[in-house]
Every structure is written in structure tokens, then in C-alpha cells.
Structure 1
Amino acid sequence: MFNPPPAPKTPLGYRRLLAPNAGVRVSPLCLGGMSLGSKWADFTGKITKEAAFELLDAFVEAGGNFIDTANLYHFGESEEWIGEWMEQRGNRDRLVIATKYSGFNDGEQKDVNSMGNAGKSMHLGVRESLKRLRTSYIDVFYVHFWDYSTPVDEIMRGLHRHVLSGEILYPAVSDTPAWIVVQANAFARQHGYSPFVLYQGLWNVSVRDVEREVLPMLRKEGMGFAPWGVIGQGKFMSKQQLEERKASNEPIRGGEQSEKDVRVSEVLAEIGDELGASVTAVALAWAFRKMPYVFPIIGGRKVEHLKDNIKSLEITLTDAHVAKLEEVNPFDFGFPYDFFGRDPHLMGETTNRVMKASDPIQWVQDVRSIEAQRQ
């Protein structure tokens, strides 16, 4: 008789489909590898290999299986450390490993053809990442960023060749305009190639630009979303956390808090006090509340930070909480959305104004009202 598996130790162990068009299952939080290495210490902070392995162990012990890195991070050292850790633990096939090309594939040598999106850069990227990760395949392989020069068909043909070879399983794309992703996926489908199934980009309560074009595109394309910077790149902090940071002289990644960061942090702290959660846990809960198939990338160098982030999976924000957060920094969707409204079927909004052809008089009145406001 079949016995169901035991309940996971934490909510991190509950697997979710990566995307509507991808059957692989991953943990709801993705552990980022940007801080795992020693060559970018001035940028990401210092961490030893032993401490990195401890963090990776804690992530897996809590139920995590989704890990993100890139060939660019610490000039390849992040991949090397993760590869060595997987080899020592013998857990490669139980993990979903994401990495990226477009950055330098040759460490710090920086040859012009070892970067960008071209086929040669991709070939070198796959080859070198496989070596550093000590594996025969990459689960999720990203185009790291758009280079404005490589043709879309060259990228999609190259990715599909690696899919057919078994070296990568799921093509993905990061930090790229939505219209290019749509063009790439259309080309892939027309030719029987593998389309992108996952997108990675900057998104948090303060920086919501992806909501204009990217998030609607992801829903239409059946793609998942792995946002980075959800906790404000270290800038979302309570007053106590900020005082502790200043007392320790520990630098804030990305610079000091702006006035907007301070205001957002205050509201995050207010909601956190109500729910018994930290500022960062509330910031992550906001992302889960807003978007399906979302897998925030969490960084950090300490196990206690990881445990705090996992608490975001135990709280649920109400509509009032979300509204309170977003009122701090209202987002301007701009034209044409402020003219014809936004699609409520895509964004899940019930209060959104949408022009209705069945009510032409109201339609004209709305248009005139908007035009009058612009005068």
C-alpha cells in the first residue's frame, strides 16, 4: 500500500510547479548564489566556503531544492562552490539548479567572445558552467541580460541545441524587455524549439516597473517569475535593524536608504508588528500575494536570515495590507494603461476601470475626463 510522504519540516518543503508550461517542481523560495564566493567581497560581503556550505545545508534541510547562480558571480567561484558542495553531499539530482550565461565565461580574463548572448558565448557558458558545477546537466539556464546585438533566432536555436543534447532542461531569460521575450518565444514555437519558461527581474514594493509589461507578458506566455531584490536589496529595515547595522559599520548593499525606502520600511514594520513577522518576511509575503508562479530569490550569508525569510511562507497579507503598502509609493502605469485601463483578467484586480464598448456614452465621458486632467 502506498504511504504518502511525511509533511515537510517547514513550508519551504512544499513543492510548486515552476510555471504553467513546465512540470518541474521547486521550493517556493530560491536560494541566490550571488553572495556565495570570495571574489566580490567588497560588493556582496565576506563569506567563507565553510559558511556557504552551512547555508546551503540549512536551505536543503529546511526543504529547499531551488538554487540560483550565474557564471558571472564571483567570476565563476559561486558555481565552483555550489558544485563542490553538491559533489560532497551527493545530492545533485534532488536539486533544481539555475545558472546564467551572458556574463564572462572565462573568469577574470574577459575576452569579448566570452560574454554576451551570441552562440559562441552560449557554447562556452554551458561548457564552463557544467565543469564548475560538476554536473552533466543544468536544470534552468538563463540568458542573463539582453545584449542588443545577437539575433533572437541565434539565441533560440542555440538554446534548443543544448536542450536536445540534454545539457540544459529549461531555457529561461533574465533582465530583458518583455517584447523581446514574446518575439523569442513566438520564434521558438513556430520552429518547434523550446520556449522560455521562467523570467528573472527586479521587483519589490518600491520598484514595480515589471508590473507594466513583464508580469502581464508572463501570464500570457505561461511563464514563471523569479524576482530578485524583493526585500529591497537590503534596504528594507526596521529602525532597530538600521541602528544595529550602523553600529556594526556594516555597509548597506546598493547604498544608503532613500526617503522612499524609509517610508516603505516603516509600513512593512507596522504590518510585521501586527502579524508577528519581520520587515523582510512581509516584503516577501507581498510578492506571494501579488503573483502566482512566483519564486523570490533570497540571498544573504547567514542561516538566521534564511530562517527569517522562510517565515514569509507562514503569513498571508490581506487586501488591506497590500493596499497600505502600495499607497506609500503609488505606481504610475503610464500610457496606454492610464487611458484605457488595465486588464483585470491578467492582474487579478476587481477595482480596475476598463472601457466598455457596450456603454459608449460612459466611454466618451471617461476619455474626455482623462484628457481634461492632462491639460
Structure 2
Amino acid sequence: MSLGEAHASFMGKTKDSFKLLDVYYESGGNFIDTANNYQNEESETWLGEWMEMRGNRDQIVLATKYSMSHKQHEVQKTPHAIGANYGGNHTKSLRISLRDSLKKLRVDYIDLLYVHWWDYTTSVEEMMHALDVVVKSGQVLHLGISGAPAWVVQKANDYAKFHSLTSFVVYQGLWNVMVRDMEREIIPMCIEEGMAIAPWGAMGQGRFKTKAEIEERKKTGELVRPYTAEGQSSLEETTSAALEKIGHEVGASLTAVALAYCLMRCSYVFPVVGGRKVEQLLDNIKALEISLSEEQVKYLESQSPFDPGFPFNIMGTDPRRFGETQFVMQKMYLNLAWVKHSPAIG
């Protein structure tokens, strides 16, 4: 999302996008995430130019998305234009969006195409058949989904399997040490389905900052949160302090610790990180070197308690992954030890 200038007024400016991409690639990075509408289409366009200039397309795992109205900035100025044709989960939206993404990115295939969000108007059947067509055509290699309830993803994958269609292999959603709603239904579904998880907002979307950083921003007039011009909430302040404490223990920044938390909390996690500065990117990469202890993870989670809701707050969560060693109800009649799921590598 940081590639482009169309949204610089509220997202901030990136001084040198190609330099940022170069440093990422030279550091071993090869997975790049974008979308059809980011920065009014500039993100895909700039990324396409960079890959063509560097001649590294084959080395990149390229992900983009459809469902958002990528032509909204033009439709608003065009008489008689039908905005619904450019957004949503339906077949025409997919056809137009993929055609335009391939052109902007200057490629003949996409490694990973996401459904950006579930629109509640297109049937699972239509969507999965349309997606399967673009995979079998060779224009797309793999499918992912973002911003959809777990039941939609499960229904879609079951339908795909029963009808020999291509199923979703990656879920992208908001997940970090402070916002853990995905642990309620989505992450357990991903584990059972063998799906990878690509969390966005893993570092708090700029919300995780030390008191010193907050004071420095106040002095320079730089907003804490450019999107809304708000300051830190009390929960964000508490979470930031906890991350800073663990950061001192492991010798890393609080944002690197936040990223490391997601990386080791579950297997097959590939965080989507943004940033406008090379130094931010290099700090993110340091998260790969951090190994948090079980005690440190428990401490972080204790500072921003998560209520899984019914029935999990009565029956417990999966004891093989996130929960206790026994279900609450089982303790009444059974003493059972569970075999834990394989932990993340690291």
C-alpha cells in the first residue's frame, strides 16, 4: 500500500519506492503483496515497472487482489459508468480486474490472487467457478481470500473440493498481539484446512510506539496515526509498553517484537508489512532473528486480554494450539494430556 503517491496525504510519502524494493529484494525478500486499487492503481503500476527494470519477475512471489472497485477514481468522473462492474466478487469484476492487474504489473500471470473481501452478493458457487477458470487458464497460480468470515471460506473450500475446483490456500486478515479476533474461528480453520496465514497490521498499523517516539512526533508535528489524526488509546499505550519491555529483554525494537509474536504464534505465517523508510524495513527483518519464550508470549497477551466469546469462553479453545491442556468441561470427569500441534520454525 505504501507504493504510490495518490494517498500520500493520509498515508505519508515514500521517499524512494524503488530503493525500498531493492533493499527488500537484496535482503532475501521475494513475496510482494499489492491490490488492484492501492494508491488509485499506482501500486501495481510502480511494482510492474520495478520488476521489469530489475528483470526479476521469476524470482518474485507476486500477490494481488480483486473485489475493491479499482476504477472508482475514474468512474466518479465518467458519465454513465457502472461502478458495480469494477467491484465485488462476481465474474465480471474478476475478469476486468485481472485483465487490468496483468497489464499494470507487466506480467502474464499472478502467483497468488486474493478475493479482497466477501461482498455478500455473489454466491460461493459463482465465485469458485470463476476463480477456477482463471487458474486453469494459467493467469493465476494460487488463490487466497481476505476479509471473509470463516464459514464462507470453509464453504467455498468444501465446494471446490467436491467439484474438483481450485481452493483457497492463504487467508489474509488483521491479527496482532492486541487484536486477536482471528484466533476465534479463522486461525483454527486455517490450521485444519492447511492454509497459510498472511496477517496485516501485525505491528499495530503504527499504533505501537514508545513514549519517547510519541513525544518526538509531537515535537515535529508528525501524526501518530495519519489515517485518523488520533493519538494512542490506553490499550495501545499499555501494549506498546509491554512490547518495549520484551524488546529490552531480547535486544530489539517493540515493532520487531510485535512481528516476531505473530511469526512464532502459529505455523505458516507470512506477515504483510508496510513502511515508507528503508530503516523501518531493515528493522522488520530483524524480527526473523527473535525467539520469544513461552513466558514472554504469555506476558504480552496478559497486557491486552482477549475474550474468545461463546462457546470458547465456556468450553475452551483448541488445547492443541491456543488453549489450556484440557477443556473446561472435561476437567469435571477426565484427566487428559494433549499432543501439541507442531510449532513454527524458528
- Show the counterpart of 1:182: 154
Distance in 2 separating the partners of 1:310 and 1:340: 38
**The residue matched to 2:327 in structure 1 has which SS?**
coil
Q: Which amino acid aligns with 2:41?
A: G
Contact 2:65-2:113 within 8 A present in 1 as well: yes
**Cα distance in structure 2, aligned partners of 1:61 and 1:107:** 35
Q: How many residues align?
A: 326
Q: Partners in 2 of 1:331 and 1:358 — Cα distance?
A: 25
Deviation at 1:244, TM superposition (A): 2.0
Q: Tell me the CA shift for residue 106 of structure 1.
A: 2.5
- C-alpha distance in structure 2 between counterparts of 1:113 and 1:262, whole Å: 43
Q: Tell me which residue corresponds to 1:134.
A: 106
Partner of 2:80: none
State how far apart, in whole Å, the 2-side matches of 1:204 and 1:188 are: 30
Match of 1:233 in 2: 205
Structure 2 unaligned blocks of 5 or more? 76-82, 336-346
Counterpart in the other structure of 1:28: none
1:329-352 deviation digits (Å, cap 9, x = unpaired) = 11111111112122212x254545
Q: Does the residue aligned with 1:169 lie in a helix, a strand or coil? A: strand
Aligned to 1:42: 9
- 5 Å matches for 1:5-154? 34-48=1-15, 51-106=16-71, 108-110=73-75, 111-154=83-126
1:8-60 deviations in Å (ceiling 9; x for gaps): xxxxxxxxxxxxxxxxxxxxxxxxxx011011112211125xx0000000000
State yes or no: 1:292 paired with 2:264.
no
- Measure, in 1, the Cα distance between the counterparts of 2:141 and 2:326: 38
- Alpha-carbon separation, structure 1, partners of 2:181 and 2:105: 33
3-state SS in 2 of match to 1:316? coil
Q: In angstroms, what is the RMSD of aligned CA positions?
A: 1.7
1:215 aligns to what? 187
Q: Which aligned segments of 4 or more residues in structure 1 are displaced greater than 6 angstroms?
A: none
The TM-score with structure 1 as length reference comes to 0.84
For residues 199 and 180 of structure 2, the distance between their equivalents in structure 1, rounded to whole angstroms, comes to 11
Flag the 1:351–1:357 CA change in 2: closer, same or farther, 3 A: closer
Q: Is the 8 A contact 1:117 1:146 kept in 2?
A: yes
1:253 to 2:226 alignment: yes
- Give the 3-state SS of the residue equivalent to 2:329 in structure 1: coil
- Quote how far apart the aligned CAs of 1:358 are: 8.9
> Residue in 1 aligned with 2:342?
none
Identify which of 303, 310, 314 aligns with 2:278: 303
Which of 317, 329, 333 pairs up with 1:359?
333
Q: Name the structure 2 match of 1:6.
A: none
Q: Deviations over 1:247-281 (max 9, x none)?
A: 22222234321100000000100110111100100
How far off its partner does 1:238 sit?
A: 1.1
- Structure 1 residue 246 displacement after superposition: 1.9
Matches of 1:240 and 1:304, distance apart in 2: 18
CA distance in 1 between counterparts of 2:181 and 2:94 reads: 28
Residue aligning to 1:268: 243
Distance 1:230 1:261 in 2: 13
- Offset of residue 112 of structure 1: 1.8
Q: Show structure 1 runs of 5+ residues with no match.
A: 1-33, 363-375
Q: Is the 8 A contact 1:203 1:209 kept in 2?
A: yes
1:308 and 1:352, CA in 2 relative to 1: closer, same or farther beyond 3 A? farther
State the Cα distance separating 1:190 from its structure 2 match.
0.6
Q: Distance in 2 between matches of 1:256 and 1:170?
A: 39
Q: In the aligned structure 1, how far is the partner of 2:26 from the partner of 2:280?
A: 15
